[in-house]
Copies of this chain bind each other. A is one copy, B any other.
Amino acid sequence: MIKLREVAIIGVGMTNFGKLSDSIVDMGVQAAEAAINDCKIEKNQIEALFLGNFVGEVLTGQALLAALTARSLGLRGIPVTKVEGACASGGIALRQAILTVASGQAEVAMAVGAEKMTASPTGKVTGALAGALDQQLDGRSGLTFPGFFGLVAQRYQAEYQSDMEAVAQVVVKSRKNAVKNPVCYLRKEVSAEQVRGSYPVAEPLRLMDCCPISDGAAAAVVCSVDMAKKLSGQPIKVLASVQTSGAPRISDVSSLLTFEATTQAAALAYTQAGITAKDVDVVELHDCFSIAEVVDSEDLGFFEKGEGAEAVKAGTTAVDGDIPINPSGGLISRGHPVGATGLAQVYEIVRQLQGKAVNQVRNASVGLAHNLGGTGATCTVTILTNDI
């Protein structure tokens, strides 16, 4: 048994998310520089960089994003690697950086997530995202991700006699949180009636049930807990960092009401952290669609199956609720530049645990970030604490 080092996140940074004019590389550099400035390390202390990106090659023609971002940052010679696991690419980049430090491969490592989507026609973006479906099977049917999560929502309603009015409360809460959060793309409050009255996308999902196509980048700097304690600042300890794989095709999905990658990652992460779901104070989870937040919140163990939608309606997941979920505004309001999302979630959790969040959860000491790719094909769960 090899004893790995405890790891801390010492700096985070992100661009605002939305419709931005910069390139993927430029956004990645901005987020990375913000993360470096957040912890006052020198750039040349960074010994490895992982970059999460999903649709950059298809939409912008640019590969080698890790190398370009590192060089533009002024980093030379160090190993730099792009990782891709569809919408979980950012979470994977963070986990690789954590493991690199935990195993002593680097004293300081950086994870960056970046994506550029709004400059491409919507159809092209939807097509690129559908690359995370199996193009030999599911893709041929014309299925896209709004279609897939529409099926999830239909099944949820049928199984639990729930209705989309309750699910729409995810969006109402999301926008309410986003109003105050400048990093978010969509910041205007909406009512459940407005959500249900918005344009049908894939029934029962309406336009406002869907996260918007977005640009943006986010980044984190990690080092050992021992090193972090010697630096000034408010380091946040990594209690668990888990990555799992689940069904990459609809034909592999055993149930539309649960993502096995999430349930497995959550179980492993709680064990690794030595806690249970009840010990988590604040959550950023993968609400690519309103129904996804509901299913994820159940899969992560915060609610019994079938009770997630009603919990949102009851205010349990509000910033001042029993288990605040997506106080940042989540993917639905912050936007979902796919490769960047996993690190934007971690940005929010770090700020919450530092007591510096825009929508601060009182006495938040343990936070969880959950990033999901494809039809539940890949998942990361990260558990953090300010008790270092």
* Chain A interface residues toward B at CB < 8 A: 1-5, 23, 25, 54-55, 57-58, 60-64, 66-68, 70-71, 75-86, 92, 95-96, 99-100, 102-105, 127-128, 130-132, 134-136, 139, 243-249, 252, 260-261, 264, 373-374, 377-378
Contacts and interface: CB of A to CB of B under 8 A. Distances in A.
Nearest to A127: B61
Contacts of A260: 77
Nearest to A53: B84
A246 B84 CA distance: 22
Contacts of A5: 2
Given A2-B5, A102-B103, A63 B79 contact: no
A57 to B, nearest CB: 5
A154 B310 CA distance: 70
8 contacts: A2-B4, A2-B103, A55-B63, A67-B85, A67-B245, A78-B245, A81-B83, A103-B104
Contact of A23 (B100, B136, B248): B136
Contacts of A105: 99, 103
A54 B58 CA distance: 11
Given A1-B104, A63-B132, 18 more contacts: A4-B103, A25-B136, A55-B63, A61-B135, A63-B84, A64-B131, A67-B86, A67-B248, A67-B377, A68-B134, A77-B244, A77-B245, A78-B245, A79-B244, A79-B245, A84-B84, A99-B100, A99-B105
Nearest to A268: B77
A245 B66 CA distance: 9
Contacts of A77: 244-246, 260-261, 264
Contacts of A243: 79, 81
Contacts of A261: 77
Contacts of A84: 63-64, 66, 81-84
A104 to B, nearest CB: 4
A378 B68 contact: no
A25 to B, nearest CB: 7
A58 to B, nearest CB: 5
A134 B105 CA distance: 28
B71 A245 contact: yes
A252 B127 CA distance: 34
Contacts of A132: 63-64
Contacts of A247: 71
Contacts of A4: 2, 103-104
A62 B135 contact: yes
Contacts of A96: 81, 96
